[in-house]
């Protein structure tokens, strides 16, 4: 199984707030832990080091969205420094456009209900926009969040991230993380849940090691979690993911499809959360410009991959039994997020803002004792595909 970063979450929203240790504040409060894909830090360490992995100040609610969350020095229009700062600016532009386009598409399907928006900023720079639509006409709960966060990793996290012991004793390492993260749970049991998340992470040279290289990584994915299999829907969804991948590298789709099946795995059930999609993490072994375009292509493919399926399924007749099965699958979603999802579990361990961390959970779910669908039923077919991942296209 591919290695993943600690906070690669699919999950939106685990905010940070300050801790009492002023010497290094703890990561608690961001609206997007999922946007903090630390490259493999702090694997075999006790919890106390996890607790203070990152320094983040308390968020401040804002009344309106800023033009940018970047500092002046990072915005390419103000900056003479080369491409990496413009990657920050272009990634922010991309994730905010993705948030807007997904929210517009969801509101068009909803035909009335609108997203509630919270904007926040951080004294040290950065901020985020959280949007949630709850109990709509079509969606039980839809959350689409962006964040742009600056912070400092203590030296031990940075050494773990690099995976190599350094002779120098580095000081705290500044980092930048930005991402968009979303979970969409429709009401109709025949309409699938969707999750997507795309993020970019950079570390700057420690102040006492001038000239050390700035390092960067991309991560993300889009995955599909229906309660019932409509083969046309699954093929449509996977073919749009494959098209996005194929524009950049023919190895991407098979590799990231398998990575997705491996990541969204509920070990205690020996089944996947859903029917997969694509997932990748800590990606930096390709041209940075290409990966920025690839992430953009993936984010832009969310609406065409998903909305037509919801349109097709949202008004289908269903029985109480169909609804009960959807609720059982929602229970699996909850189990995965609370037990295995790195962003969610990291946010809970570090005491983040609970509303933000749990925005990915469904409004309702169900756990029946020893429930087993009868072999050959539609419910059984879905479970079988979650236990034995298939090639859909």
DSSP letter, residue 201: E
Summary count for the chain: helices (H), strands (E)? 11, 10
Strand partners, 119: 62, 129
**Closest by alpha carbon to 220, among 275, 289, 155, 299?**
299
Give the distance, in angstroms, between the CA of residue 14 and the centroid of all CA atoms in the same chain.
11
Written as six digits, the tokens of 320 are 């109480």
d(CA 339, CA 332): 10
Residue 390 CB partners (closer than 8 Å, separation 6+): 275
d(CA 345, CA 357): 9
Q: Which of 29, 185, 195, 238 is catalytic?
A: 195
Buried b (16+ CB within 10 A) or exposed e, 334-370: bbbbeebbbbbbbbbbbbbbeebbbbbbbeebbeeee
Using only the alpha carbons of the chain, give its radius of gyration. Answer: 20
Please identify which residue in the block is written with the tokens 């968020």.
Answer: 59
SS3 353: coil
Q: With residue 177 as reference, give the H or E element that holds it.
A: strand 173-186
d(CA 220, CA 263): 11
d(CA 78, CA 88): 13
d(CA 308, CA 52): 43
Is 195 known to be catalytic?
Answer: yes
**Closest by alpha carbon to 355, among 6, 12, 9, 8?**
12
What are the residue numbers of the active site?
A: 195
């Amino acid at each position: 199984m591919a290695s993943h970063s600690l906070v690669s979450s699919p999950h939106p929203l685990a905010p940070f707030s300050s801790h009492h240790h002023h010497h290094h504040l703890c990561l608690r409060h961001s609206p997007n832990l999922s946007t903090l894909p630390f490259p493999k830090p702090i694997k075999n360490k006790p919890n106390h080091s996890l607790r203070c992995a990152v320094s983040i100040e308390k968020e401040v609610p804002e009344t309106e969205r800023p033009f940018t969350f970047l500092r002046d020095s990072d915005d390419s229009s103000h900056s003479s420094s080369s491409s990496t700062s413009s990657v920050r600016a272009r990634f922010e532009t991309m994730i905010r456009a993705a948030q807007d386009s997904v929210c517009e598409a969801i509101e068009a399907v909803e035909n009335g209900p609108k997203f509630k928006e919270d904007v926040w900023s951080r004294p040290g720079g950065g901020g985020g926009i959280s949007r949630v639509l709850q109990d709509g006409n079509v969606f039980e709960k839809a959350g689409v969040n962006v964040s742009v966060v600056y912070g400092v990793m203590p030296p031990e996290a940075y050494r773990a991230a690099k995976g190599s012991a350094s002779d120098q004793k580095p000081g705290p390492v500044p980092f930048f993380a930005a991402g968009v993260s979303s979970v969409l749970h429709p009401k109709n049991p025949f309409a699938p849940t969707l999750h997507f998340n795309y993020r970019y992470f950079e570390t700057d040279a420690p102040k006492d090691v001038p000239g050390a290289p700035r390092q960067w990584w991309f991560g993300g994915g889009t995955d599909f979690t229906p309660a019932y299999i409509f083969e046309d829907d699954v093929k449509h969804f996977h073919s749009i993911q494959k098209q996005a991948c194929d524009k950049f590298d023919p190895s991407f789709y098979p590799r990231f499809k398998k990575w997705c099946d491996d990541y969204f795995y509920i070990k205690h059930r020996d089944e996947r959360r859903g029917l997969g999609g694509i997932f990748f993490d800590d990606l930096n072994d390709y041209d940075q410009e290409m990966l920025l375009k690839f992430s953009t292509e993936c984010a832009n493919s969310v609406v065409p991959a998903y909305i037509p399926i919801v349109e097709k399924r949202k008004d289908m007749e269903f029985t109480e039994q169909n609804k009960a099965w959807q609720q059982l699958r929602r229970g699996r979603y909850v189990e995965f997020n609370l037990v295995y999802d790195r962003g969610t579990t990291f946010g809970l361990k570090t005491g983040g803002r609970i509303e933000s961390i749990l925005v990915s959970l469904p409004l309702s779910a169900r756990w029946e004792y020893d429930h087993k669908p009868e072999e050959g039923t539609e419910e059984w077919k879905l479970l079988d595909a979650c236990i034995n991942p298939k090639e859909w296209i």
